[in-house]
Structure 1
Amino acid sequence: MSENVIYSINGPVVKVRNATDFSMMEKVFVGDKKLMGEVISISKEVTTIQVYESTTSLKPGEPVEPTGSPISVTLGPGILRNIFDGIERPLKEIAKESGAFIATGSNVAPLDEEALWNVSVKVKVGDQVVPGQIFATLPETDLIEHRCMIPPTLYGEVVEVVSDGSYNINHEIIKVKDDKDEIHTLTLCQKWPIKQARPVAQRLPISVPLITGQRIFDTLFPIAKGGTAAIPGGFGTGKTMTQHQLAKWCDADIIVYVGCGERGNEMTQVLEEFSELIDPKSNRPLTDRTVLIANTSNMPVAAREASIYTGLTLAEYYRDMGYHVAIMADSTSRWAEALREISGRLEEMPAEEGFPAYLPSRISQFYERAGYMETLNGQEGSVSIIGAVSPQGNDFSEPVTQNTKRFVRCFWALDKSLAYARHYFAINWTESYSEYVGDLTKWYNKNVDIRFLRNRQELMSLLAEEAKLMEIVKLIGSDVLPEDQKLVIEICKVIRVGYLQQNAFHKDDTYVPLEKQLKMMDVILYLYKRCKEIVSEGKSLSQIIASGIFDNVTKMKYDVPNDHIEAFDDYFPMIDKAVNESLNA
């Protein structure tokens, strides 16, 4: 029996008096049911622990046992296709054991310990191994090869190796003797603390875009591989749907979806949809390259914080294998609310709107773990973070949104009026921005065309000019505007409806390759250029608008299939004909 016992319980916060054998950030087992907890504060008189499970029925006097190690996750084959809670407990296995609700103290192994994996060993006896080196590979899914790596702190000589064959995750694969003649036995899995970033050889410059096939992102507000983006928006503006579309179509190798404090029915929808989605690149289930972490709003509040770090650690593990990973965190506001609740129970001095004073540093620690890296084994991998933010009352001036804005370089602001007008994606193009355009210029110029970013700049200028004009239109109407300003409004309508608005249910519009995006911009800007000629001749725009050419250009996203991009060439003579008829009228 442990000498350390519970002195007081305040929600998820438990205190132990006169304890001397705990250390900061240590994992502990609380109570007779061995609930998982973490030491978050130590003084001479009191040790404070936050419990990641429900403390209902916990009583003073129950034991608290130290473990000597921080909270860690098990990393190994079987992560993909799985659904975990915030502390890496597999929900499917828990459901078999205890039904629809997670039993307190549930002790289910994170990964299937009975499953056999077809292992190919990549080292032999006598080899010198270094941190991060791949010593075995196996097919985790039909899409992803799992690469078992030497732990980041181990150097040595291989003294024992098994032959290729089928093994479970706990089977001894190799033995390594370090420079102190100690023998280390390596299996298919390893553990890593969730709040400690995994080491890399070096952080590389960001220079490659994360291609999404969604025009407003790829063209106007691109995100780089290894970059960070925030999607702030009020209730019903489409944060979750945006992340679903990005998860399905972005060119990341692996998706980590973290549902942090979201509604249970919404998470159920996510789980059901992801299990039915087919990966468009391979025609295999999307779950073959996805891991889901579900931490719903009715789960213990402290586990929300852990869920974010659990997802990050899983992402870094696959990054170290040489994969490009994208994390969808939905939503970081719920995580911040968990920090606020626990801070309140600890009686810490509150900062703005009751959030703890350390909120900015926690947000920065989260986003700073993104990056494009050279791994310890010499490969390149990345972790891109796309975090949803749920500001109360759609108020972007609240602390979580403002502090997130400080640490991300891509800000995709969702607009309630656009969402209610069924404009998908409901990204407000005047409030949003991307700081990655300069970093990605060389890639776009080399891999697409030098016209791509030049066209983008013209579109952005037109949209900015339209925003100013619309203020005037609201006051005095559009009839008093000169023809050149009317043209800006008409061409921006084509840009908004024909280019920025996208149809997720249309086979050719749900995903648009960069080459098609470029051609669409070419056509729209050519129409604008020719119509300016009409205006400069003193002619009215009404006749060319009546010709229907604006409508035809607006509908080209549906009319031109993705595999017949050459059909855009037909639009240029069509525009010339309409313009010439207007000039000659």
Structure 2
Amino acid sequence: MGITGKIYGINGPVITIQGNLGYKMNEMVYVGEHRLVGEVIRLSKEKTTIQVYEETSGLKPGEEVAGAGCAISVKLAPGILNNIFDGIERPLQKIAEKSGAFIPTGAQADALDREKLWETHITVQEGDEVAGGSIIAEVPETKSIVHRVMLPPGVSGTVTAVKPDGDYTICDEIVTIRTTDGGTKALTMTQEWPIRKPRPVKDRYPADRPLVTGQRILDTLFPIAKGGTAALPGGFGTGKTMTQHQLAKWCDADIIIYIGCGERGNEMTNVLEEFGELNDPKTGNLLMDRTTLIANTSNMPVAAREASIYTGITLAEYYRDMGYHVAIMADSTSRWAEALRELSGRLEEMPAEEGFPAYLASRLSAFYERAGYVQNLNGSDGSVTIIGAVSPQGGDFSEPVTQNTKRFVRCFLALDKSLAYARHYPAINWLTSYSEYIPDLTAWYETNVGPTFVQCRNEILNLLTMENRLNEIVKLIGSDVLPDDQKLVLEIARVIRLGFLQQNAFHKEDTYVPMEKQLRMMEIILHLYDRCKALIDRNMPMALLRESDIFEKIISIKYDVANDKLEQLNLYDDKIEEFYQHLMAENA
């Protein structure tokens, strides 16, 4: 039984107990007669401070606070996928069945179904030596994912008894081991893990392979490494959530953890409805069969919003330990930082820039550091990739959350309001975005896509940078006075923007583009540029080149060439040559 104390003071989600009764830092507690879930966040000789993860209306001084004797943790077992939790792993669908649309104060529900029978295949035998991370059973959790039941980290021994294959609940004992200290331990499918403690790994690998997304501007210009980190900052209406939806649907991760952290309720409702209906292009099943949603909307308690990020990353690490590649979509870390700021204010801590706590940077770094491509304790490889949306107020990227996030991520995908309003999607600004993963991924691109990939990517980016410089001149004196070679740069940059960077999520051939097609599209655009430049060098006016429809044909490649008929792209090289030879012959 844990330590029991009495509430002395209440300040929103923060409550205090007089004196030091012996609670541990980060210990989970149950507050008041409704047994609200809370966590010890500060200890001193004079008082104990607790943050409560639920609405504290109705609490009064003198009510009892009972310690749980352990840190705030999540339950890990089959049943996590195809489920919707709040920030402290309460199943929202179960609570809705009991209580309706709103979570009542002190709502209690098991995180995972303790009565459901799972078809279980035991993978160990009597006499086997097992250690933390060893797979002891396999369960088809959904049609898409096999759940590998593992020994908890820190436990090891010899298997002494196993149950036969069959249907078991997550609480049934399926394997018994004699531990290395001579004791006996019965194992179920369930383990618990503190959300603020990273799960251990055997080794970490360098970020040398990309998370392939099928989105051209990401895969080509600003790639994210598998096991890497990316920030997706943008003002209201720039498409952060939609970009994350595309990544969730198409990226080559096995499992998606979507954390709706402090977003509007109607936006989260759309996410829940859409994810429930989307078909998974990888498996043909529902996308939810390999997805977990954590919904903590803006009208839910702020303390639970702060915890939701850690709940999501812990679930991701658990599936990584099974040997899966997991992608986390955190939407948005700004709302998480605002929860930190509100709690910090109630704790009367000294504020730093814009009222955020001084430890904002360290909390952000601790979160993003839990990403990585690793070798697990059981010898398998897995990864956690974090893509965090940032919602700077007024689209101001100089505010503290965006600036501190930039320090800890290696891929920065800046969404631009003017591009979004011009219906250019994804609205990622190619001038202010960057990826530091290019040098690490070059060898992978050369081996798996083509030896010219990185060179083509650099040339495309160079043309876009030249266009930006020329546009500054055009704003002052107009485009008519530019020499023809500079007019050509503007025209080819338009082809790149419309034909390559802009992508239609609702078009069958354009929503996802394989890497081979991306490379061939770049090669064709650069081939067109080289041939047009050769004509300009022969004093042919740009106006004459524009009379041809070749530029529009290249722009429409993304729609006209099916992803399974890439041989048709050779015809476009032929069309460019015909265009070149025709003009050369006419002006000989």
TM-score, with length taken from structure 1: 0.99
1:59-208 map, 5 Å: 59-208=60-209
Name the CA distance, whole Å, in 2 between partners of 1:582 and 1:472. 30
Aligned positions of 1:170-319 closer than 5 A: 170-319=171-320
Segment of structure 1 superposing worse, 150-159 or 46-55 = 150-159
The answer to whether the Cα contact below 8 Å between 2:10 and 2:16 also exists between their aligned partners in 1 is yes
The one-letter amino acid paired with 1:68 is G
Aligned counterpart, 2:474: 473
Other structure's SS at 1:486 match = helix
Distance in 1 between residues matched to 2:148 and 2:139, nearest whole Å = 7
Q: Secondary structure at the match of 1:262?
A: coil
Q: What is the alpha-carbon distance in structure 2 between the residues aligned to residue 529 and residue 203 of structure 1?
A: 43
Q: SS state of the match for residue 350, structure 1?
A: coil
Task: State the Cα distance separating 1:206 from its structure 2 match.
Answer: 1.2
Alpha-carbon contact 1:207-1:224 (below 8 Å) kept: yes
- 4+ residue segments displaced more than 2 Å: 579-585
Task: Map 1:182-581 onto structure 2 (within 5 A).
Answer: 182-581=183-582
Distance 2:114 2:533 in 1: 69
- CA–CA separation in structure 2 for the residues paired with 1:252 and 1:3: 45
1:172-194 deviations in Å (ceiling 9; x for gaps) = 01111112222111101100000
CA–CA distance in structure 1, aligned partners of residues 111 and 67 of structure 2: 21
Distance 1:335 1:123 in 2: 42
Q: What is the Cα deviation at residue 2 of structure 1?
A: 6.9
Aligned-partner residue type, residue 152 of structure 1: P
Distance 1:282 1:254 in 2: 12
**Contact between 2:120 and 2:165, CA under 8 Å: does it hold in 1?**
yes
Displacement of 1:211: 0.4
Deviates more, 1:410-419 or 1:570-579: 570-579
For residues 301 and 443 of structure 1, what CA distance do their matches in structure 2 show?
Answer: 42
- Give the SS at the match of 2:267: helix
Cα RMSD after superposing both structures: 0.9
Tell me, in whole angstroms, the C-alpha distance in 2 between the residues paired with 1:41 and 1:2. Answer: 16
Matched with 1:37 is 38
1:4 alignment partner, SS class: strand
Could you tell me the percent identity over the aligned residues? 64
In structure 1, the residue corresponding to 2:273 is in which secondary structure?
helix
Mapped partners of 1:160, 1:111: distance in 2: 26
- Partner secondary structure for residue 8 of structure 2: strand
Deviation at 1:489, TM superposition (A): 0.4
Per the alignment, residue 11 of structure 1 pairs with 12
Question: SS of the residue aligned with 2:262?
Answer: strand
Give ranges in structure 2 of 5+ residues lacking alignment. none
Kindly provide the CA deviation profile for residues 312-352 of structure 1, in whole angstroms up to 9, marking residues without a partner as x: 00000000000000000000000000000000000000000
The one-letter amino acid of 1:563's match is D
Instruction: State the match for 1:582 in structure 2.
Output: 583
* Contact in 1 for aligned 2:235/2:391 (Cα 8 Å): yes
Shift of 1:542: 1.1
The 3-state SS of whatever aligns with 1:505 is: coil
Shift in CA distance, 3/280, structure 1 to aligned 2, threshold 3 Å: closer
Instruction: Tell me the SS of whatever aligns to 2:520.
Output: helix
SS in 1 for 2:444: helix
Distance (Å, rounded) in 1 between the aligned partners of 2:275 and 2:309: 19
> Which residue identity is paired with 1:168?
T
SS in 1 for 2:464: helix
Counterpart code for 1:320? D
Contact 1:21/1:66 (<8 A) preserved: no
* CA 2–71 in structure 1, closer or farther in 2 if over 3 Å, else same: closer
CA positional deviation for 1:20: 1.7
Contact 1:4 1:19 in 2 (8 A): no
Contact 1:534 1:541 in 2 (8 A): no
Deviation (angstroms), 1:582: 2.5
Q: Which amino acid aligns with 1:201?
A: K
Could you report, residue by residue, the CA deviation over 1:403-440 in whole angstroms, capped at 9, with x for unpaired residues? 00000000000000000000000000000000111111
Aligned-pair CA distance for 1:581: 2.6
Q: Verify the 8 A CA contact 2:3 2:21 in the aligned structure 1.
A: no
Which stretch shows the higher mean deviation, 132-141 or 17-26? Answer: 17-26
Aligned residue for 2:283, secondary structure, equals: coil
Where in structure 1 are there 5+ consecutive unaligned residues? none
Please give the alpha-carbon distance, in whole angstroms, between the structure 2 residues aligned to 1:572 and 1:338.
55
Contact 2:177/2:186, CA 8 A, preserved across alignment: yes
Counterparts of 1:190 and 1:112 in 2: how far apart (Å)? 14
